[in-house]
Amino acid sequence: MAVDDLYAAVAPLAPRFNLCDYFLERNLREGRGDKVALIVGDERRTYAQLSERARRLAAVLRRHGLRPEERVLLVLPDGFEFAETWFATLRSGGVFAMVNPLMKREQFEYYLEYTKARVVVTHTDVLPEIGDALREARLRPVALVVGPDAGGFHSYERALDAEDPDGPLAALEPTGPDDLAGWLFTSGSTGHPKACVHVHSDFAYSTETYALQVAGYRESDICLSVPKLFFGYATGTNLMFPFRVGASVVLFPGRATSDELLDQIEQHRPTFFTGVPTMFNNLLRSERIAQADLSSLRVALSAGEALPPSLYEEWKARTGVEILDGIGSAEMFHIYISNWPGDVKPASLGRIVPGYEAQIVDAQGRVVPDGEPGRLRVRGGSTALCYWGDKHKSRATFQGEWCTSADIFRRDRDGYYFYVGRDDDLLKVSGIFVSPLEIENVLLAHACVAEVCVLGREDDEGLVKPIAFVVPRAGHVGSEALAAELKAHCKEHLAPYKYPRWFVWRAALPKNDRGKVARKELKAEISKA
């Protein structure tokens, strides 16, 4: 079936289509104008209030020269202003690009040059790092600053106050389904992050398929997320998808620690929780977990890194709530393979989401039999157009309707997909390819291990062997005795050549801004040793 046919069967769209209308304004037409859309601490914003401020900001963007298809760079913590800017950008026909507000000046300089953003919306707290980068940027973008000190740039609130939400500058841009809408950045694991360019229909497609048909968002839901909104995983699960059904969203600007999340759950009683494996683990290790009331939760999502089966089982036993683990990517916008409510196979990423097709192929692009590992190739109505400014990488990844991943998977005979690892993470030990994930899952099943990352390191003969960076659980200390115990544990559950030869004990593992273990940092450490 061609992608056009898949799309027509899943989410037919009108010739005039704008995501601001699809996600936000439809709630006013459907009678939810007075319903709470956003919650930040003790403050609330209804759908009608959010719409008015988004219309004002759309006028601000146009007054400062934003034209259709030009980028607006969002450098904001989670809060009302992030949502307002996201919707206003789309309303005015602009293209959103979102980055972590906790970056350093050099990184901001890269994004300012790469995006060539016409407007940047940022926060007072970010100015110490981004301020000089904005002043010295080659293209001198307009900067709107949220907060008490605009640092010589334009005050966000004063700019909004000066605009008419019903004036011509606030009008909805008559975009179509195939007009440019947003850039989603790759993780940058092999260099500078690149932008996957998406059109309006891409985001609607994932919403109509994954969000509505698999995850099962409801109007009565209250949604809370570990990842921040600049990360496409959370932009979907904690802004777009809830708004599609008129649900409520909880946002908080600070770091997503276990204490912060337990406070948010206690105060707001969310029903829908977007997580990552590291945070599920941290919550279960919290001193407060025994007394925490998690009874409001009905759905938990996980993505971004592999979810160990032992962690899934422990969470399910503690909460009674399934974790719907899945795989998505910036290239496809969101999750296209997932476990389903009532149909969770631990260790797997589940089954294909309706509206998508997937194949596992070898290096020559040939489909391999079930059970054999290979690259994942997927297609559906949310595939990006390209990587901005990188024709070579675009051609390697996007082939017609198909998007070929750098990740290695296998599929079982029942149609469940299993993540093996990135092709550049696989280890060749004793002449045989080994998945670090397989070793990590065995180690995580040991009572003394809280977190682990397995990489490759050359021994004295120049042969690659596994090395494990381990965070011991509370009450346990890394030692030669524990290393010997873990080696024996691995030999009991794995082929003999797969056990780690070395153990490095850590209080914590480095994480990137998406919550994943920063394997690149640990690899660099090994190379320097």
Residue 284 confidence class, pLDDT cut points 50, 70, 90: very high
Handedness of CA 388, 394, 399, 405 (dihedral sign): negative
* Nearest-angstrom CA–CA distance, 182 and 325: 25
For residue 354, pLDDT beyond 80:
yes
* Nearest-angstrom CA–CA distance, 271 and 363: 43
What is the per-residue pLDDT for 180?
98
For residue 3, pLDDT beyond 60:
no
Tokens 């390819």 -> residue: 433
What is the per-residue pLDDT for 431?
60
Residue 1 confidence class, pLDDT cut points 50, 70, 90: very low
Nearby residues of 198 by Cβ (< 8 Å), 6 or more positions away: 180, 181, 182, 183, 184, 333, 382, 384, 385
Nearby residues of 455 by Cβ (< 8 Å), 6 or more positions away: 425, 427, 436, 466, 467, 469, 519, 522, 523, 526
**R_g (Cα) of the chain, nearest Å:** 23
Nearest to 225 by CA among 170, 273, 178, 158: 273
* Nearest-angstrom CA–CA distance, 497 and 434: 9
What is the per-residue pLDDT for 12?
63
Q: Average pLDDT for residues 348-362, to the nearest whole number?
A: 96
Maximum mean pLDDT: which of 234-238, 455-459, 513-517: 234-238
> Quick one: how far is CA 392 from the chain centroid?
25
The rounded percent of the chain whose pLDDT value lies above 90 is: 79
Give all domains of the chain, ordered by start, each with its CATH number. 18-175 (3.40.50.12780), 209-422 (3.40.50.12780), 427-528 (3.30.300.30)
The pLDDT tens digits for 177-199 are: 999 999 999 876 556 889 999 99
Nearby residues of 204 by Cβ (< 8 Å), 6 or more positions away: 11, 13, 17, 19, 22, 177
What is the per-residue pLDDT for 8?
55
- The DSSP-derived string for 389-452 is T-HHHHHHHEETTEEEEEEEEEE-TTS-EEEEEETTT-EEETTEEE-HHHHHHHHHTSTTEEEE
Joined tokens for residue 236: 């979907």
Q: Average pLDDT for residues 364-372, to the nearest whole number?
A: 93
The pLDDT tens digits for 88-129 are: 999 999 999 999 999 999 999 999 999 999 999 999 999 999
What is the per-residue pLDDT for 94?
98
What is the per-residue pLDDT for 10?
54
Q: Write down the pTM of the prediction.
A: 0.85
Joined tokens for residue 113: 């040059």
Inter-axis angle of helices 258-268 and 277-285, to 10 degrees?
A: 80
CA distances from 55 to 154, 170, 176 (A): 18, 5, 19
What is the per-residue pLDDT for 526?
86
Residue 427 confidence class, pLDDT cut points 50, 70, 90: confident
The pLDDT tens digits for 447-475 are: 999 999 999 888 876 778 899 999 999 89
* E strand or H helix that includes residue 120: strand 119-123
Cβ atoms < 10 Å from Cβ of 438: 17
Joined tokens for residue 109: 């300089």
Nearby residues of 462 by Cβ (< 8 Å), 6 or more positions away: none
DSSP annotation of 138: T
* Nearest-angstrom CA–CA distance, 52 and 34: 12
* E strand or H helix that includes residue 115: helix 105-115
* Mean of the per-residue pLDDT values of the chain: 92
Average the pLDDT over each of 1-10, 219-228, 267-276, 359-368 and give the range with the smallest value. Answer: 1-10
* Nearest-angstrom CA–CA distance, 360 and 353: 16
* Nearest-angstrom CA–CA distance, 522 and 400: 36
At position 338, the amino acid (one-letter code) is S
The pLDDT tens digits for 293-350 are: 999 999 999 998 778 898 999 999 999 999 999 999 999 999 999 999 999 999 999 9
Nearest to 270 by CA among 212, 338, 229, 220: 220
